[in-house]
């Protein structure tokens, strides 16, 4: 029963946190705010972000108020889910560590799917125009291109094929393995069912 409740809460909280990761990426990439998906993300995140923005303005391309809210929500989620998944409540340091790990893991996963979706839509969307696909591909392009640009400067197209997404995906997975996986392994002795919530 507890595992089912943890799964439901994790799924709902994860969907809301996803909106904040997307908002951070959209702000960084200066995505087209006329896009309906962008407007939806702004609508669901504005109630928490806009009040804080009066005190925490953006810094360069980083939407700091969204970043603060994202980590506060992730911290609250860890504080709620960890006691439900385990017999004992974890310490504050453990929850803070899990917050950083979970936030980083979610961000890496989101960008992995963004790059993968961008590549797939670039293949199937050529030669046809569908408003829904154009809306999604436009958003994915705006989020993916800033990350692909450095790879394209190093890895030119080979035989007309752009290999930069492959190397970026490898880099994202390597980063996840290097930073996230060891942190999860270190946290497991402290939380009995950490795999359920992270």
Delimit the domains of the chain by residue range: 2-197
Residue 180 DSSP code: I
Between 181 and 108, where is the model more confident? 108
Q: Rounded distance, CA 118 to CA 137, Å?
A: 6
The pLDDT of 55-65, averaged and rounded, is 87
Indicate the range of 36-50, 156-170, 171-185 predicted with least confidence: 171-185
Q: What is the pLDDT confidence band of residue 196, given thresholds at 50, 70 and 90? A: very low
Q: Quick check: pTM over 0.85? A: no
The pLDDT of 60-87, averaged and rounded, is 82
- End-to-end Cα, the chain, rounded Å: 18
């Amino acid at each position: 029963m507890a595992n089912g409740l943890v799964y439901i809460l994790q799924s709902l909280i994860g969907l809301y946190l996803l909106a904040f990761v997307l908002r951070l990426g959209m702000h960084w990439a200066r995505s087209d705010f006329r896009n309906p998906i962008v407007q939806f993300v702004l609508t669901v995140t504005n109630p928490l972000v806009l009040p804080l923005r009066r005190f925490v303005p953006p810094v360069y391309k980083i939407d700091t108020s969204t970043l603060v809210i994202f980590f506060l929500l992730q911290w609250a989620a860890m504080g709620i889910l960890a006691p439900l998944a385990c017999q004992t409540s974890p310490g504050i340091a453990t929850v803070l560590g899990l917050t950083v790990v979970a936030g980083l893991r979610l961000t890496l996963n989101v960008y992995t799917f963004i790059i993968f979706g961008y590549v797939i839509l670039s293949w199937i969307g050529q030669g046809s125009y569908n408003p829904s696909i154009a809306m999604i591909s436009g958003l994915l392009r705006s989020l993916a291109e800033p990350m692909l640009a450095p790879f394209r400067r190093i890895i030119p197209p080979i035989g007309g094929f752009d290999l930069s997404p492959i190397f970026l995906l490898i880099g994202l997975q390597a980063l996840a393995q290097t930073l996230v996986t060891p942190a999860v392994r270190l946290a497991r002795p402290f939380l009995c069912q950490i795999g359920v919530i992270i």
